[in-house]
Chain A
Amino acid sequence: MIHPIPPGTRDVLPDEMRELRRLKAALIEVFEDRGYGEVATPSIEYDETMARADGPDRSSYRFFDEAGELLTLRSDMTVPIARLVATRFAKAEPPFRFSYLAGGYRAVRPQRGQMREFVQAGVELIGASAEEGTVEVIEVLEAALDAAGLGRAVIGLGDADLYRQLLEEMGVEEESRDAILSSLATHDLVALEQGLLAAGIGAEQAQTCVQLTQLRGGREVLEQARGLGGAAVERAATQLSETYEELERRGAADRVQIDLGLLRELGYYSGAIIEVYDPAVGHVLGGGGRYDGLMKQFGLDFSAAGFALYLDRVHTAQMEEARRG
Chain B
Amino acid sequence: MAEAPLTLAVPRGALFGETLDILDAAGVDTSELRGDSRSLIFETSGMTLVTMRPSDVPTYVESGAADVGITGKDVLLEQGDRVVYELLDLGFGRCRMVLAAQTGDDRLGEAQRRLGMMRIATKYPRIAEEYFESTGRQVELIEVKGSVELAPLVGLGDGIVDLVATGRTLEENELEVREEILECTARFVANRVAHKLRAAEIDELTAKLREASSR
Contact of A112 among B3, B81, B195, B197 (CB under 8 A): B81
Shortest Cβ distance from B202 into A: residue: A214
Whole-angstrom CA separation of A277 from B196 in the bound complex: 8
Bound Cα distance A190, B89 (Å)? 6
Report the interface size class on chain B.
20 to 34
Which of B63, B65, B73 gathers most chain A CB within 10 Å? B63
Q: Is the CB of A283 within 8 A of B64?
A: yes
Q: Does A55 contact B (CB under 8 A)?
A: no
> Does A259 contact B62, Cβ atoms closer than 8 Å?
no
User: Are A187 and B85 neighbours in the complex by a CB distance under 8 Å?
Assistant: yes
* B196: contacting residue among A189, A191, A259, CB under 8 A: A259
Residue A217 lies at the interface, judged by CB distance under 8 Å to chain B: yes
- A282 and B3 within 8 A (CB): no
Which residues on the B side are within 8 Å of A113 (C-beta)? 63
Q: Contacts A154-B196, A259-B196: A282 and B86 contacting too (C-beta < 8 A)?
A: no
Contacts of B193 in A (CB 8 A): 277-279, 281-284
Count, chain A residues at interface, CB 8 A: 25
User: Is there a chain A Cβ closer than 8 Å to B194's Cβ?
Assistant: yes
Give every chain B residue within 8 A of A278 (Cβ-Cβ): 193
CB nearest neighbor in A for B63: A282
Considering only CB atoms, which chain A residue lies closest to B87 in the complex?
A: A189
* B residues less than 8 Å from A188 (CB atoms): 85-86
Determine whether the beta carbon of A279 is less than 8 Å from that of B1. Answer: yes
Verify A281–B64 contact, CB threshold 8 A.
yes
Q: A109-B81, A214-B203, A282-B191 are in contact. Are A190 and B196 (CB under 8 A)?
A: no
Select which of A189, A257, A282 is within 8 A of B194 by beta carbon: A282
A156 within 8 A of B: yes
State the Cβ distance, B63 to closest chain A Cβ, in Å.
5
Tell me, yes or no, whether B88 is within 8 Å of chain A by CB: yes
Please provide the chain A residues from 198 to 255 with a CB less than 8 Å away from any CB of chain B in the complex.
Answer: 214, 216-217
CB pair A154 B197 closer than 8 Å = yes
Cβ–Cβ < 8 Å partners of B199 in chain A: 216-217
- Any B CB within 8 A of the CB of A186: yes
Note all chain A residues with C-beta closer than 8 A to B63: 113, 282-283
User: Is B119 in contact with chain A by the CB < 8 A criterion?
Assistant: no
A132-191 contacts to B (CB < 8 Å): 152, 154, 156, 186-191
B123 in the interface, Cβ–Cβ < 8 Å?
no
Report B63-99 CB contacts with A as 1/0, cut-off 8 Å.
Answer: 1110000000100000001110111110000000000
Q: Which residues of A contact B197 (CB under 8 A)?
A: 154, 277, 279
Minimum CB–CB distance from B89 to chain A (whole Å) comes to 5
A191:B191 contact, CB within 8 angstroms = no
Residue on A nearest B203 in the bound complex, by CB: A214
Query: What CA separation (Å) do A8 and B59 show in the bound complex?
Result: 17
Bound complex: CA A186 to CA B58 (Å) = 14
Give B residues with C-beta under 8 Å from A.
1, 3, 62-65, 73, 81-83, 85-89, 187, 191-197, 199, 203
- Can you list 14 A-B pairs, Cβ within 8 angstroms, ordered by A? A109-B81, A113-B63, A152-B1, A156-B196, A187-B195, A188-B85, A188-B86, A189-B87, A189-B88, A216-B196, A277-B197, A282-B63, A282-B65, A282-B193
**Top 7 nearest A-B pairs by Cβ distance?**
A282-B64, A187-B85, A188-B86, A277-B193, A190-B89, A282-B63, A279-B197
Besides A109-B81, A282-B193, 15 new A-B residue pairs in contact (Cβ under 8 A), listed by A number: A113-B63, A152-B1, A156-B196, A186-B86, A187-B85, A188-B85, A188-B86, A190-B88, A190-B187, A278-B193, A279-B1, A282-B62, A282-B192, A283-B63, A284-B192
